[in-house]
Structures are given as C-alpha cells and as structure tokens.
Amino acid sequence: MPYSIMLDAGHGGRDPGAVYKGRQEKDDTLRLTLAVGEILQNNGMDVEYTRTTDVYETPYQKAMEANEAGVDFFVSIHRNSFPTDNEVMGVESLVYDLSGIKYEMAQNINAQLETVGFVNLGVKARPNLVVLRRTKMPAVLVEAGFINSDTDNRLFDDNFDDIARAIADGILQTLDIGGSAGEQHGDYRVQVGLFRNWNNASRLERELKEQGFPAFTDDSGQYISVQVGNFTDLSDAVAMEKRLRQEGYDTLIVS
C-alpha cells in the first residue's frame, strides 16, 4: 500500500504571505508545491493538496483537511521573510517537536536543499503553529529560502526544478522510496503515550492489549513511554500508526 501525503502551498487567495518587490509568497509556494507533488506521484506516492489554485483557507482548515483525508504525512511549503531585506538567507524546516520521523524528514529535506546551494539554517520546533499542532500525522513546514533575499530568489528562480526535486528527495529518502540505499530496515515503534506515573502507563498498556495491539512499556528515558510493536520496516510502523490514529490515539513513530 503506497504512502499518502497532503502537500500544502502556504497562504493563498486574500492572504499573499510575505511580499517583496511585487513578489508574493503564495505564488512561489503554489508553483513549488505542485512541482514537488508531481515528483512524489511519479515515485508511487498518493498525493493530495490543500489547494491547487489561488484560494484561501485558514491553517486550521488545512489541518482538518489532512486529518479527514487520513494521510500518512503532511508537508507545508512556504517562503521565509526577515524584518530587514537581504540580511538573512537560507532554508529552515519547522516541526512540532524535535523527535520522530517528522524530525528525520525535516533534516533530510534541509540537507537536500543545501546541495542545491541554500544555507542550511536547521530544523526548529514550533509547537504553536496550527498546521503542526492540529495535524494528527507527522507534519513538516518547509521555508524554501527568504523571499526578501535577492540571493535566495535568484537561487529559487535559477534552480527551481532542482529545488522541487530536493524537497521530494528529502521526503522519499525518509520513506526509502526511489532511493539507492535499498530496503530500509531499523527498529521502529509507535509511541502512544508518555507518563510520569506508572499506574497511568500501565492502564494505557492494558487498554491497548485488550484491543489486540502489541503494547509494552519502556522506562529507559526521562518519562515512561507506552509503545506498540517493534518493526524492522518503516512501512509497517506507518500502517500501525494509522490504525492507532483511527482508534483515536495520539501517536508518534520513534526509532
């Protein structure tokens, strides 16, 4: 079963996003999002979009669309901005917190964009962003260069196809689709809860086991973690996470 992803072109309609010398973020993001989506589709992924035209939806509406579609991943594409023109340049990606497969995907996207010529500003946690906080699946927000940096804009325009390929490759690399590394194996589990109290952790573990999930408790970290499964193939972990989300649990793939 192929992975599914919802791509979000930042802003749109009455919301132009950042604007610089007549250039509007909403136009750059839509063009880039559609190009990334085409590459992902050509590599066998099921791709959906929050928008394919110049329309406006709130970040909350976009998050709800992804949740209702039940996709495996959510990636929102933006252009960055800084109060002073031509002072900062580079790419950065944002995630809810610095853990799990979303963090790995964000790092891979940044690394691929760095090969195109962007300065890599790293991955940052932004738990207050609605599209990262309200989505139920792993979510990444990519800032593809600063729109008020002439250097980044030249790079964006002159290397557009390579930039689209870089973002797609970062996603595909994380899922080991269309890459050269061979089949991806490791130790993947689905985290369902974090607790300080053993009784609460044990209660969730019993609840999961009663529903047939292979749950266990891991106390090797700072908190007591209730997890499900131990998968050598990432696709199996993603499938289990999807099942758990459908049952109403908040989940996170850990490795």
Average pLDDT, the chain: 92
Task: Please give the residue that has the higher pLDDT: either 255 or 33.
Answer: 33
Report the candidate in 117, 37, 102 with the shortest Cα–Cα distance to residue 234.
102
Entry pTM: 0.77
- pLDDT at residue 63 in the model: 97
Checking if the pLDDT of 135 tops 70, the result is yes
Evaluate whether 62 touches 50 at the Cβ level (below 8 Å): yes
How many of the other CB atoms lie within 10 Å of CB of 183? 10
Confidence of residue 102 (pLDDT cuts 50, 70, 90): very high
- pLDDT at residue 228 in the model: 93
- pLDDT at residue 182 in the model: 37
Average pLDDT over residues 233-252: 87
Checking if the pLDDT of 181 tops 50, the result is no
213 — alpha (psi -120 to 50), left (phi > 0) or beta?
beta
- Placement of tokens 């557009």 in the chain: 160
Q: Could you list the beta-strand ranges (E) of 117-156.
A: 120-125, 139-146
Checking if the pLDDT of 185 tops 60, the result is no
Checking if the pLDDT of 120 tops 90, the result is yes
Radius of gyration of the chain (CA): 19
Contacts of 83 (CB under 8 A, 6+ apart): none
Evaluate whether 209 touches 175 at the Cβ level (below 8 Å): no
Assign 29 to helix, strand or coil: helix
- pLDDT at residue 234 in the model: 83
Confidence of residue 179 (pLDDT cuts 50, 70, 90): very low
Average pLDDT over residues 49-64: 98
Average pLDDT over residues 231-248: 86
Evaluate whether 72 touches 137 at the Cβ level (below 8 Å): yes
Assign 5 to helix, strand or coil: strand
Contacts of 108 (CB under 8 A, 6+ apart): 169, 170, 171, 173, 174
Task: Please give the residue that has the higher pLDDT: either 194 or 32.
Answer: 32
- pLDDT at residue 60 in the model: 97
Structure tokens at 119: 């300065």
Checking if the pLDDT of 183 tops 50, the result is no
- Placement of tokens 């010529």 in the chain: 117
Checking if the pLDDT of 177 tops 90, the result is no
Checking if the pLDDT of 242 tops 90, the result is no
